[in-house]
Amino acid sequence: MSQPVLVLASHNQGKLRELRELLRGQVPGLDVDSQVIDAATAGATDPVEDQVTFQGNALKKAREIAASTGLVALADDSGLSVDVLGGAPGIFSARWSGVHGNDEANIDLLLAQLGDIAAEHRGAQFVCAAALATPDGGEHVELGQVEGLLRTERAGEHGFGYDPIFEPAGAGKSMAEHTPEEKNAISHRARAFAALLPAIVEAVSKALENN
């Protein structure tokens, strides 16, 4: 089997599939199914997300994974930014209610906080920072963003996190009402990874040459 050249700093298999599809056919000689791997396959431990920006967290994860594995590393950090809350929950999106990853509690708290806020003031953005780091110290960071507004009630069965209450601008439906394919075409993560693609292709091409 070909030696891995790129590690995604995540255990999320959905993210890994998205990355492999993004790179499929982009780099001559790259077998995305065996040479693009996740953190667990690489034997990497999860870095602590203790930075104060999406960019900072993504870059820290990419740096640490690249250093520990000797591979090109890609990481992302994302969340919801609400205008009337001054950009919160922001980097605290996944633990807004106090418990990391409790999507329902996070949504309940946010809806309660915005209970008296009129529709015209419920603007929000999904934001993603994607970072690339190479073992020789190379670094690149890109941002992806989706503008929208927050609904007053949940809608839709797809997605995760705040998707049921986030409506992308002009969509007329929540992110959770989009099919996975529709979401992947417009998501903040897809936009960040697409912006980073030239740097990923360059770094992976160099890694293949040195294999």
Contact 19, 196 (CB under 8 A): no
| 50 marked as part of a ligand binding site | no
Residue 126 lies in a domain: yes
Q: Which residues contact 137 (CB under 8 A, 6 or more apart)?
A: none
Residue 152 lies in a domain: yes
Contact 21, 58 (CB under 8 A): no
Residue 189 lies in a domain: yes
Burial (CB count within 10 angstroms: exposed 0-12, middle 13-18, buried 19+), residue 174: buried
Contact 193, 130 (CB under 8 A): yes
Q: How far is CA 141 from the centre of its chain?
A: 12
Q: Residue 157: which CATH number?
A: 3.90.950.10
CA atoms within 13 A on the CB side of 47: 25
d(CA 176, CA 179): 8
| 61 marked as part of a ligand binding site | no
- Domain, as residue range, for 124: 6-210
Query: Which residue among the candidates 38, 46, 76, 77 is catalytic per the annotation?
Result: 77
Question: What was the pLDDT predicted at 1?
Answer: 54
pLDDT in tens, the chain (211 residues): 589 999 999 888 878 888 898 899 999 999 999 999 999 999 988 888 899 999 999 999 999 999 999 999 999 999 999 999 999 999 999 999 998 889 999 999 999 999 999 999 999 999 999 999 999 999 999 999 999 999 999 999 988 899 999 999 999 999 999 998 898 889 999 899 999 999 999 999 999 998 7
Residue 171 lies in a domain: yes
77 among known catalytic residues: yes
| 205 marked as part of a ligand binding site | no
Contact 91, 99 (CB under 8 A): no
Question: What was the pLDDT predicted at 15?
Answer: 83
| 163 marked as part of a ligand binding site | yes
Question: What was the pLDDT predicted at 159?
Answer: 82
- Within 10 angstroms of residue 100's Cβ, the number of other Cβ atoms is 11
Total count of domains within the chain? 1
| 60 marked as part of a ligand binding site | no
Residue 1 lies in a domain: no
β-bridge partners, 197: none
Q: In 68-96, which positions are buried (b, 16+ CB within 10 angstroms) versus exposed (e)?
A: bbebbbbbbbbbbbbeebeebbbbebbeb
DSSP letter for 89, please: B
DSSP letter for 115, please: T
| 159 marked as part of a ligand binding site | no
Residue 201 lies in a domain: yes
β-bridge partners, 139: 133
Task: Find out whether the peptide bond into 4 is cis, omega within 30 degrees of 0.
Answer: no
